Structures are given as structure tokens and as C-alpha cells.
A and B are shown apart, each in its own frame.
Chain A
Amino acid sequence: MLKFELKKVFSRPGSAIAMGILAVVIGVTCWFATDVYYVDPNGVKQRGPSAVAALREEQKAWAGELDSEKLRQVILANKEIKSSPEYQSEDENEREIAYSRGQGFKDIRDLLNHAFAAGFCDYDYYCADRLSGDMASQFYGRRVSLLKEWLEGEAKEQYTDKEKAFFISRYEKIKTPFYYDYMTGWTRLFDYAPTVVMITLLILGYLVSGIFSGEFSWKSDAVFFTSFHGRKRATAAKTGAGLCLVTGIYLVTMLIYTAIVLLYLGADGWACPIQILFSGWKSFYNISVWQEYLLILAGGYIGCLFTSFLCMWVSAKTRSAVIAVMIPFVLIFIPSFLENIPAPFVGKILGLLPDQLLQMGNVLGYFNIYSLGGTLMDAAPILLTVYAVLAVLLVPWTYRIYRHMEIG
């Protein structure tokens, strides 16, 4: 039965087109994600595997614990480049030569820009250029002090004292010094992951939306519901087909995307804390890069599962694939409209909408926290648990609706 349900889905001409679109989008996304350049000592931009290898070699040279000494070295090396005639030159090629000398510690320089910016929410690209070597020792302290300043200033009304203490405690608990390694593969993987997850979700929404309503549009409902298993196992097989589609297509897509990006750019840095990443510096989630990857993977899966099951529920309830196929669009785009409502609770609500599951990398950067029975919890585990439970609950509900369907 399951095999035939899947066959029904893929026998629709639109399904082949949808799968083709997914393949093209994944291909294009992989191309963008792996498009890394390296500037050689002559100031010439290079692309391709040799450029990746050269960049990796340069950044690997700075791998290790980011202690005060290493940070001091970065500050001094950066200063040396900025004072070099090549950097001062008006000639573009000369400036590229200067850039090439700093590629190895470019990521660490970004962290310095974060740490020594004027405010918690600021980022000053030239901040590292103004630092002196002895300021390196303030690096980790600045991270905490900037947070405290922000919580007592700009975000004063946004959080309770308990919540503020929670954030500060998380910041203080992180193990320092951070371990740094070349991690372009992960950075690029995380940058484009939401695009891949969203496209996969839209395609899945299209594929599953016809599973239940198809019997009505094909007018095969009467034969289906008068069969021995029609109101039991055959209905369950439809849910099974939805689960197989979501699991299979999502996992295959994500694994292909991950494999292409990491095989091309390298998986080094998997054990580093996410605070090493440009997007993860402010995160209060004290986890490593591989754990962030698992969160993105799990969030995307649960998001796709929940949304697809919701599509199937709507499809069973309304007997229409057209309404069901709109569900993923609504779930993805509605939050963009809600963002404009200037109410304090809106942010809290937005942080728990299912679209957040599709961009778990961003969730890790938000300061969203919820109080459950007096215990403070961050958004990520709530999102994963709530939507996994809702997805599971939709299964018997959909089954029940379809099983008791009357054909007039």
C-alpha cells in the first residue's frame, strides 16, 4: 500500500517538475556555498579546489586556543599589515596583496571587531585596527561586559532580572579560551542551510498536499473507502507515505548539501564553540559547531514534518490540495508581516513560530527565553519539543478525519 501511495505522488506530472526544481535549487545553492576565493601573495584572486586548499593552509596556521598571546599576535600582525605600503597604496592590486597577508586570521579579526565594538549590538569593521597588543587580555571580559551593558541599557525593559541573570550566567559559563580552527566549510554550510530547508519544505508541501485530497480529485474515493482497508490501513498508509516523503527527501537533500559543501571546503573546526563563528559570537547557547549542525538538521526536519503533516491535515479536512499547498507559504511568510507590530509580546510569539525551525542557526543568535513553570528555557529546545509533539498529534487527527469521511 505504501509503495502505491508513493507511486501515486510521483506519478503526477507536477511531482517530477517539483523534484527537478529541488535538484536545480540545491545545485545552485551548493555552487554559491562553495564559491570561496583565495588571494595569492601576488594579489590575484583564485577560486576552485586549489584556492580552498591554500586558504585552509593559511587559516590552519592560526589554529589552536584563542588565548591572550594568540590574540595579541593577531592584533600585531593586523597592525603590521595596515601600516604596510601595500595597504596604504591606492593601487587595487597592492591592496589585494595586503589583504592576502591577513587571510589566515581574518575570522579572528572579525571576533576582535565584535568584542571591542562600542556596544553589544554594534559591529565595527575597523575596530581591530585601533587595538593595541595589551588589549588582547580584555577579549573574553569584553564579551560579558558588553552583554551586561546592553541588558542594563537598551534591553532593560525587555527582560526580567531573572532572565538577565540567566543570560549572564550562560555567558560566564562558557569555557575559555575558545579553540579556533579553519571552519569555512561550516560557516558556508550554515549560511545557506535555511535556503535549502525552506525550498525543501515548499517542495514537500506540494508533494504531500495531494496525498489525501487526491482520492477526491481523481474521484477514486468511492472505491477507496469501500475497500476492506480503506478506512484503516490504507488511510494509515497515506500518513506513512507522507512520513517517508518528508524523511527521505529532507534527509537526502540535507545530506547531499552537507556532503558537497563539507567535502569541498572541509569539515575542520567541528569541535569549536559556535561563538567562533561570525554569526555565533553573541549566542548564549554554549554548544559546539557539530551540535549546531545537528540542531539545524533536527529543526529543519521537525519543521518539515510539522508543516507537511499540517498540509496533509488540511488536505484531508478540506479535500483540496490547493488550500493545503499554501500552508508552507503562510507559515514562512506570515512572520514577516507580524514583525511590524510594535508590541512587546510579538517578539516572544515570533520566536516560537514554526518558521524558526527552518532557521535554527538564527535562533541560536536570538535572545529568546521563556519561563515554563518558573524555569527559564531557551527557544531551541521548546521549538523542537513543541512542534515534534504537534506533528505527532496531527497524525491520529488526520487519520480520524479521513477514516470517517462520508462520500455524498
Chain B
Amino acid sequence: MELAVTKLTKRFQDITAVDQVSCRMTAGVYGLLGVNGAGKTTLMRMLCTLLRPTGGTITWEGEDIFAMDGRYRKILGYLPQDFGYYPDFSICDYLMYVASIKGLRPVTAKKRTGQLLELVGLSGMEKKKMKKLSGGMKRRVGIAQAMLNDPKILILDEPTAGLDPNERIRFRNLISELAEERLILLSTHIVSDVAYIASEILLMRSGRICASGTTDELIAAMPERVWSMTVEKDQTEHFMKNYKTVNIKAARDGVELRLLSGQRPTPDSREEAATLEDLFLCYFGEKAGEEDA
């Protein structure tokens, strides 16, 4: 089981959305981390055969996925960032339709729909119309449709965007349950999503994979270290201007700062263990953030 991406490039007129990306993925959960506009969605759309690359190749088990055509899509499950649906279809109708276009026989489709609704916690709601579902429920239907054909490759583009913290935890657990014996590629700009479930992380910036590895490997290879310190309130601006600041917290005797620096910023600053969030800031700088957290 290997999905290989070699020198993959996608240009839209003068914009290069994906630039010479190469990576190999086998069974496991891969987190594709990057700020908005980093090229994650374009990369995923090419991996799903929705977009043809300008250059480079994508192969599954050594065979070009575009040449495989239907055979590749048969083993693919995809949950897009903007998950669209037919508003007046019931959940059951929607899943049965997707099952039919995924090539499942009606009997198998019915059985699989029942199993997946149970898995995503929507059993008993089959007749509910799609347009009446909450954001979290829609996402759960989204993952169910992606899983209908029991795919070997599951691609999830920002699956937790717009979900509340409870729904997000539930979703992460669900993905972990599904991870066995398949390749899951999860794109997000929310660090905590991948921190818990991804076995390998790909950091994407300006259309390129700028770093990859396990969380520990990436943290170990971080070019900067993490420091915490307490400073006077009027010094805060100086530190924010000169260092990548992970966190600012008001304290009784000043302001507590957590920042990144190759050198100890002040004699009394303490070195801290780095987290994935620190890593994210290290690579993506001011653009990084967990606005949805």
C-alpha cells in the first residue's frame, strides 16, 4: 500500500499552488498541516483526481492514478472542505445515492449505510432531511459517505472546520477508529487535530512540503527553542516585535510570555518542552493560529 507523489506541481495561470511536492504515504494517519492558502486543498484535489497536475506524478502501487481512472476512485474516499449535499434528500437517500455512484449493489449499500450510521452516531435519523442537520451531523454524514466503499485511501480536507470542541473530539476519535489498515490523509490548519491522531505530519508552506515526520521528529528538528519568561508589561511589545510569540498571559507581577528563539532571550528565561503548536508557529510565523480552537 503506497501512494507516491513525485515532483507534483499545479499552476493556475501565474500562481503556483503546489510546487514540486514529493512524498510517500503508506497505511496510517497523515496530517497535512499548513495555513490557509498553503496549497493543501489543491494537493488533495489532485490526489482525488479532481484536478490534473501541471507537472509531476501521483502513483498508487506504482501505477499512475489518472491512468487508473475508475479503479483508483474505487479505493478512494473523500470528504471535501466544503461538503455539499442535496438539501432535500434524507440521510438515507443521500447515502444510498452516493453508494450507487460508488458502485455498491443496493443490498450491500443498505447494509453498509446502516453500519456507518451506527458508527457515526446517526442511526435512527435516516429519514431526517440533510438540510435539517446541524454542522456536526453533516460532517458525520460526510465521513459516512467517504467510508461507504470501505476505501483504502481516505482523504479528509479540513474535516473539523466549523465544529464545536465536543464535535471535534468526537470526530478525531472516529478517524482514529477508521485508521486501521488504510491510508488517511487529513488536512487541517488546526494543530490539535493532528497532534492527537496523526502518525506522521507534513508541513506545507507556499505550495511546498517544508518539513515532515512524526511529531517528536519534527519537534526535535525544530530550528528554534521554546522559552518562557515574565516581563514588565511595557516590555511586551519589544518581545513581540523581535520574537515569534506563542502565548501572552497576564500575571500578577507582569506578563508571562512563551516565545521561540534560537538563543536564550533573557538571562532569566526558562527553556520549555516544545509542542506541535510551537512547531507550527516556528514554520508558519504570524500566519499561524487556531482561530477555530
Of the stretches A87-95, A218-226, A321-329, the one at the interface is A218-226
Residues of B within 8 A of A218 (CB): 84-87
Q: Does B205 contact A (CB under 8 A)?
A: no
- The answer on a CB contact under 8 Å between B73 and A222 is no
Nearest A residue to B48, CB-CB: A226
Chain B CB within 10 A, most for which of A1, A4, A228, A232? A228
- The answer on a CB contact under 8 Å between B78 and A406 is no
- The answer on a CB contact under 8 Å between A223 and B145 is yes
Residues of A within 8 A of B96 (CB): 4
- The answer on a CB contact under 8 Å between B70 and A231 is yes
- The answer on a CB contact under 8 Å between B84 and A222 is yes
- The answer on a CB contact under 8 Å between A222 and B50 is yes
- The answer on a CB contact under 8 Å between B50 and A229 is no
Nearest B residue to A214, CB-CB: B86
**A/B pair count, beta carbons within 8 Å:** 91
- The answer on a CB contact under 8 Å between A1 and B101 is yes
Nearest B residue to A13, CB-CB: B88
CA distance A11 to B131 in the complex (A): 12
- The answer on a CB contact under 8 Å between B89 and A11 is yes
CA distance A348 to B266 in the complex (A): 91
Q: Pick the contact of B84 from A1, A12, A221, A226 — CB < 8 Å?
A: A221
- The answer on a CB contact under 8 Å between B80 and A223 is yes
Chain B CB within 10 A, most for which of A215, A227, A230? A227
CA distance A222 to B101 in the complex (A): 13
- The answer on a CB contact under 8 Å between A407 and B45 is yes
How many A residues are at the interface, by size bracket? 20 to 34
- The answer on a CB contact under 8 Å between B51 and A406 is yes
CA distance A230 to B72 in the complex (A): 12
Q: Does A8 contact B (CB under 8 A)?
A: yes
Q: Does A234 contact B (CB under 8 A)?
A: yes
- The answer on a CB contact under 8 Å between B101 and A228 is yes
Residues of B within 8 A of A221 (CB): 84
Q: Does B182 contact A (CB under 8 A)?
A: no
Q: Pick the contact of B98 from A223, A231, A232, A233 — CB < 8 Å?
A: A223
- Residue-wise, chain A 200-239 has the 8 Å CB interface mask toward B (1 for contact) of 0000000000000001001111111111111111100000
Residues of B within 8 A of A374 (CB): none
Q: Does A408 contact B (CB under 8 A)?
A: yes
Q: Does A170 contact B (CB under 8 A)?
A: no
Q: Does A7 contact B (CB under 8 A)?
A: yes
CA distance A228 to B12 in the complex (A): 27
User: From residue 221 to 279 of chain A, which have CB atoms closer than 8 A to chain B?
Assistant: 221-234
B146 to chain A, nearest CB (A): 8
User: Would A222 and B80 be within 8 Å (CB), given that A230-B73, A406-B52 are in contact?
Assistant: yes
